Structure 1
Amino acid sequence: MISRFNNEMKLSIEGLIVAPCTPMLEDGSINVSPIAEYAVYLKNKQCVDNIFVCGTTGEGQNLTIEERKKVGEEWVKQGRKIFKKIIIHVGAGNLAETQDLAKHATEMKADAIAIAPPTYFKPASVQILGDYLASVAKVVPDIPVLFYHLPERTGADFAMLDLLDNVVDRIPNFAGMKFVTFNMGDFGRCQQRYGDRVTLSFGKDEALLFAALSGGTSFVGATFNYMGSLYKEMFDLFTANDIREAMKKQQDIQVISGIVGQHLRGVTERISGIKLGPSRLPIAPVDEDGVEKAMKSIKSSGLMTL
């Protein structure tokens, strides 16, 4: 549930947050029909409790505004009774479209929105980035707003502690961020100063255990699509204070992630049995030979059950 905290809006979210693919037909158009089955698979087979829609893995910025609305609507419709929290990414190429998507997410009663900044006209400073977030947040005052921090994609490579200093006290519904960078020092400083006021969901799959050791309690992952159950095992070990075995599980996950590489969509389709179809250009097409090789390597590794 959303609760007020010192006149701010706090999003209570813990555990695994999956970033799903957006299913498509062979002609490259979106295909929402598999989403109902996909949602059940993610919950029951991969043990995820929350979902992050139309992010990088979901190709949000590769879809039209209307397509994004349709995809978001279907995930909310099919996932409302399955997932604890549904977060919709609304970041677009300009402020007006981002505000439009934010309003739509609010209307369909998503639990939170996330905003990645524009990537052509990039924010030139933390102050400008804060102003941009405030301009979106003010048109949707009743929904928690998260910043989507992925500097290797967006180019907005600022210290997130500086951003939090800028926005936490001036944006009433600012609720935290999806933190996708290996800068663990910045993540730890953000946790130390603001961890009791906002949600900091760590999003580098290969280092989730290290984020947990730094105080993280929620984690966004694309690889949860095909091995979320292994992450649950890892965090169960961590919760039981069996750090040595949790670290071994993190290493197994790193090996599998390295095997799969850029074949996540195809591997997810094979493991789930759900037809996800191709990605949309300019993202490279699914390499079926590479997917087959990855599946054989995963099986021979003995690190997960297919």
Structure 2
Amino acid sequence: MSTHKLSGLVAATYTPFSADGSLALERVGPMVEHLIEAGNRGLYVCGSTGEGVSLTTMERCEVAEAYVQAADGRIPVFVQVGHNSIAEARLLAAHAQQIGADAVSATCPSYFKANDQASLLETIKAIASAASSLPFYYYHIPVLTGSSVDIVSFMQAAGEAIPNLFGLKYTDTKLHEYQQCLEISDGRYDVVWGTDEMMLGALATGAKAAIGSTYNVIAPTYLEMIDAFQSHRMEDAQALQMEAIELIRVLGQYPFHSAMKELLRMLGHDFGTCRLPQRELTPRESEELQQKLQTVDCLANLVADSSRDRS
């Protein structure tokens, strides 16, 4: 099992669909090349961004395998296997280990809530043990899972019960809590930031790596921000973070992931639309979105160029 902590950007990948809603896995390879060229240092597959919970178990296996094959060992691939059925989550975890994924991650179930530490611990232990030779990252995203378990206490307790627990994908906005997680057991865990619009604050708190959706399109902006922060050019770093915030603000005026898929299409990566219950954009919304994106500094030239290419 790898003992190397992450650094830099890990793109939370999208799942490509054809017009009829079936998987379009032939589009994964070109996207992976784009993500690597843009500076991403890892891929996080079938998470919230990848609509993992909207896929069948077989589809999740196929998507995971497509990304592992396309990455071809050049950057690590993390497979998110969380499921309301623990048995299905275990099948997904075992499959990820079988196909050569670099790590497994999982949310807790979201229908029947994991609202006490003991049950959450047993749940995550059962999932992680199905891929015991891989590092396991717990995916903390309480806004979607509804779990009210204190994450600091959970991570403190989980280390003894889950031998392959290696890290945490922290997708929340509590920087003080994130810092506590970083310091558990003298920095034992690889605690990866997961809220794109707050990356600068996370860097100041001690983050070394981040997993996010918008790294699919503006990874260079975030890399410039990291460089500015590390070079003590705080005003530059703040300006670059604001560019990312503005992009996220515009996308958030629509169903977010549907808007991101529309942006990917504008940039030459047709990944189809999102599955229900996430609705697709209307033609009018798509046109409005393109116009608005031309006012976002980090995207204006890219969107304008793609628009000219299609005309």
Which TM-score applies when normalising by structure 1?
0.93
Residue 139 of structure 2: aligned partner: 148
Residue 203 of structure 1: aligned partner: 194
Q: Distance in 2 between matches of 1:293 and 1:194?
A: 49
Q: Which amino acid aligns with 1:153?
A: L
Residue 132 of structure 1: aligned partner: 123
Q: Distance in 2 between matches of 1:280 and 1:62?
A: 7
Unaligned 5+ segments in structure 1 are 4-10
Residue 263 of structure 2: aligned partner: 267
Q: Distance in 2 between matches of 1:283 and 1:257?
A: 17
* 1:23 pairs with 2:16: yes
SS at match of 1:178: strand
Q: Distance in 2 between matches of 1:291 and 1:151?
A: 30
Q: Distance in 2 between matches of 1:195 and 1:33?
A: 44
Residue 89 of structure 2: aligned partner: 98
Residue 2 of structure 2: aligned partner: 2
Q: Distance in 2 between matches of 1:252 and 1:279?
A: 25
Q: Distance in 2 between matches of 1:137 and 1:260?
A: 34
Residue 164 of structure 1: aligned partner: 155
* 1:63 pairs with 2:55: yes
* 1:300 pairs with 2:291: no
* 1:78 pairs with 2:74: no
**Structure 1 residue 157: Cα displacement:** 2.7
* 1:285 pairs with 2:276: no
**Structure 1 residue 290: Cα displacement:** 2.3
**Structure 1 residue 139: Cα displacement:** 2.6
1:209-228 equivalences under 5 Å are: 209-228=200-219
Q: Distance in 1 between matches of 2:186 and 2:293?
A: 37
SS at match of 2:83: coil
SS at match of 1:21: coil
**Structure 1 residue 81: Cα displacement:** 4.0
Q: Distance in 2 between matches of 1:179 and 1:115?
A: 12
SS at match of 2:277: coil
Unaligned 5+ segments in structure 2 are 303-311
Aligned Cα root-mean-square deviation (Å): 1.5
Aligned length: 296
Checking the alignment, whether the CA contact within 8 Å between 1:230 and 1:253 is kept in structure 2 is yes
1:37-91 Cα deviation digits (max 9, x unpaired): 01011111x32111100001100000000000000000000012442x1100001
1:194-240 Cα deviation digits (max 9, x unpaired): 46211111101110111111111110110111111111111111121
**Structure 1 residue 169: Cα displacement:** 2.4
**Structure 1 residue 300: Cα displacement:** 2.9
Q: Distance in 1 between matches of 2:53 and 2:130?
A: 21
**Structure 1 residue 295: Cα displacement:** 2.4
1:127-177 Cα deviation digits (max 9, x unpaired): 211111111222321111111111111011322111111101221100111
Q: Distance in 2 between matches of 1:126 and 1:291?
A: 44
Residue 42 of structure 1: aligned partner: 35
Q: Which segment is superposed worse, 293-302 or 184-193?
A: 293-302
Q: Distance in 2 between matches of 1:162 and 1:13?
A: 23
**Structure 1 residue 294: Cα displacement:** 2.3
Give the direction of change, closer, same or farther, for the CA distance of 1:24–1:125 in structure 2 (3 Å limit).
same
Q: Distance in 2 between matches of 1:101 and 1:213?
A: 35
Q: Distance in 2 between matches of 1:160 and 1:245?
A: 33
SS at match of 1:285: coil
* 1:193 pairs with 2:184: yes
SS at match of 1:213: helix
* 1:13 pairs with 2:6: yes
* 1:184 pairs with 2:175: yes
Q: Using the aligned pairs only, state the percent identity.
A: 26
1:242-261 equivalences under 5 Å are: 242-261=233-252
Q: Distance in 1 between matches of 2:287 and 2:169?
A: 32
Q: Which segment is superposed worse, 63-72 or 296-305?
A: 296-305
